[in-house]
Structure 1
């Protein structure tokens, strides 16, 4: 389906399925492929966590000062809600999105006590403990030896899906690379 599914005749059913997927204990929700909501199966969590923890140059280069400050706070505290951060809401929201887009934190959208939406930012270690994965920093991850091997695993999967579906999905570290699309289509 191209474009937004909200106006599609099956929009309500699509919404219900997406909510059920998001609530499934074997699924993590991230903005992984082309910045869109992506449902990541538990077997890929070690790769996701390895990438998130790596703090590679593509993740940290040109981060705003506000995003760097939020990342430091999330790292220290484990979790942080954007509605409880002082400062202009647009700046806080933009910084949180920077961290989310670069996989530096795991993000969940929550409904606040006031009825609005906010992001809950979590360090990958905090998220791993909460999910009961046991995948703390330095833990054995099977085929995922480091962030590079984790990226290769996810690239292979996205390449296969792109070929099968005639798509051009990209992973966050590929978006900023010249000719990323050409590499994806190999």
Structure 2
């Protein structure tokens, strides 16, 4: 759980984070990164410092560092169930690094939120990226199955879902979802 900060500490942190943002805006990216590192040394899950450090890394063209801070920020936002800002962070980082992924469980949680927000195609894309980007992750077959199911049932894309289901059977022949995948393929084949 985040530490409860007294008002003076919170005010000082806010001032430092705003100073860091100003540094980034004025091209002082390394100085901003060092300021955020100092804050994160004392407050490792501080959302403002994580976001600022991610932005500083992006400004420094440090894709690996930016992804690391974006993943940490994403994990903290997911833990707090703050999915609206998590979706923003995810999209921003994806725009800069098309291979960016959150931790698998955070990516799956984000997809559930997107479904609840009536964005099933975005949810399917987020799930697909887990299977494509982390094919050996133990949750990859589940993510791909959920993706195919969304494409089929919520996005009216049975042909794409069929391809995904077939891929699951081929790539993960021992998957716990095998029977469900075969049943879905049979239902798609008869147009259900």
What is the TM-score with the length of structure 1 in the denominator? 0.26
Higher share in strand? 1
What is the TM-score with the length of structure 2 in the denominator? 0.25
Kindly name which structure, 1 or 2, has the bigger radius of gyration based on alpha carbons: 2
Higher share in helix? 2
Q: Which has the bigger relative contact order, CA under 8 A and spacing at least 6?
A: 1
